[in-house]
Amino acid sequence: MKRILGLIGSPRKLGNCEVFVKEIASSIPENYKLKLIRVPSLTIEQCLACYGCIMDLPCPHNDDMEFLLQQIVTSDALIIASPVYFLGSHSMFKRIIDRGFLFYTVLGKTYGKPCILLSFYGIKNRIGIAPQTMMSFATFLGLDIKANMNLRAALPGEILTFPRQRELAMKLAKMLFSKEKKTHMNYGCPFCGCDIVKMEKKKFTCTLCHGTFRINELGKKVRIKDGGIIGPPEHMFLHKAWLRGMKEEFLKRRKEIMQLTLKYKNIGEWIHP
């Protein structure tokens, strides 16, 4: 029996995130068990930037991060949903991503797991950077993104009143364990599908994978260079090795750097609530 994990990024019970994840799951042809986590209810502390995890030391925080990662590890697939707040995903997803160095501890077990990403917004076309945040979350866990969908529904549970969206749920359900994908590859980066890119001289750079491409005279995208960020675990671990090297370099030069920074210690007045 398949184990599907639904990550509900909204604190609202029976809101669009929750009911649509359940609608998709109810149409999955395989035998499955749906497990749910309400992401805003988790206790995820802020990263301390200690780099302990990069050095294979335990994280000093005793919170729900390990619980979340283990639930992802033991799942066969994920459906991840978030409301769009002020043009972004729920802040809990960013807080988890900020602790993303811990992803390296499970990457070998999470890589390739299929997932569907859902962003729910209210005002027409007011989606902002939410889809990119969702892609970042999935990409750095090595998940296989089957679909990254932006769905307009503002009222709690409103998504169920649209027949076309319920039909979409059935299509997404069939897609989850298939080889089919429904990403916006035609509109965004030709490497990863992210639709937020930087305009530069004679080229575009993807803000997720950092791949570069241009548009030819026929209006088609032409790849220039892979960004070198996304890949199989052994490739992703190169970033960990680089970070470890930077930590070791800092430890070698710590006294030198501290001598430069100490004179700034008492400049300004910290304000507290």
Domain chopping of the chain, boundaries: 2-180, 184-254
Cβ contact 181:145 at 8 Å: yes
Fold of 2-180: Rossmann fold (3.40.50)
pLDDT in tens, 98-128: 999 999 999 999 999 999 999 999 999 899 9
Give pLDDT, residue 244: 92
Q: For residue 212, which phi and psi values (nearest 5 degrees)?
A: -115, 145
Q: With residue 23 as reference, give the H or E element that holds it.
A: helix 16-26
Distance from the Cα of residue 229 to its chain's centroid: 14
Q: pLDDT-derived band of residue 241, with 50, 70 and 90 as boundaries?
A: very high
Q: What is the pLDDT of residues 126-137, one digit of tens each?
A: 999 999 999 999
The mean per-residue pLDDT over the stretch 156-162 comes to 95
Among 44-58, 172-186, 193-207, the range scoring the smallest mean pLDDT is: 172-186
Q: Long-range contacts: 157-162, Cβ < 8 Å, 24+?
A: 157/14, 157/15, 157/16, 157/19, 158/16, 159/16, 159/19, 159/20, 159/23, 159/120, 160/19, 160/20, 160/23
How many other CB atoms sit within 10 Å of the CB of residue 98? 13
Q: What is the pLDDT of residue 184?
A: 47
Alpha helices in 54-153 (DSSP H): 65-73, 91-98, 107-110, 130-139
Query: What is residue 185's predicted lDDT score, i.e. its pLDDT?
Result: 46
| Nearest one of 241, 233, 232 to 56, comparing CA atoms | 241
At residue 107, the pLDDT reads 94
How confident is residue 182, by pLDDT bands cut at 50, 70 and 90? low
Overall average pLDDT of the 142-149 stretch: 94
Q: What is the mean pLDDT of residues 36-50?
A: 96
Maximum pairwise Cα distance, the chain = 65
pLDDT for the residue numbered 186? 58
Instruction: Dump the DSSP string for 230-257.
Output: --SHHHHHHHHHHHHHHHHHHHHHHHHH
191-237 confidence digits (pLDDT tens): 998 989 999 988 999 999 999 999 999 989 999 999 988 888 999 89
Mean pLDDT of the chain: 93
- Residue 188 banded pLDDT, cuts 50, 70, 90: confident
What is the average pLDDT across 49-74? 94
Query: Does the structure show a pLDDT above 60 at 65?
Result: yes
Residue 179: predicted pLDDT: 80
- The answer to whether 213 touches 226, Cβ cutoff 8 Å, is no
Question: Is pLDDT above 80 for 9?
Answer: yes
pLDDT at 143 over 60: yes
What number is the average pLDDT over the span 58-87?
96
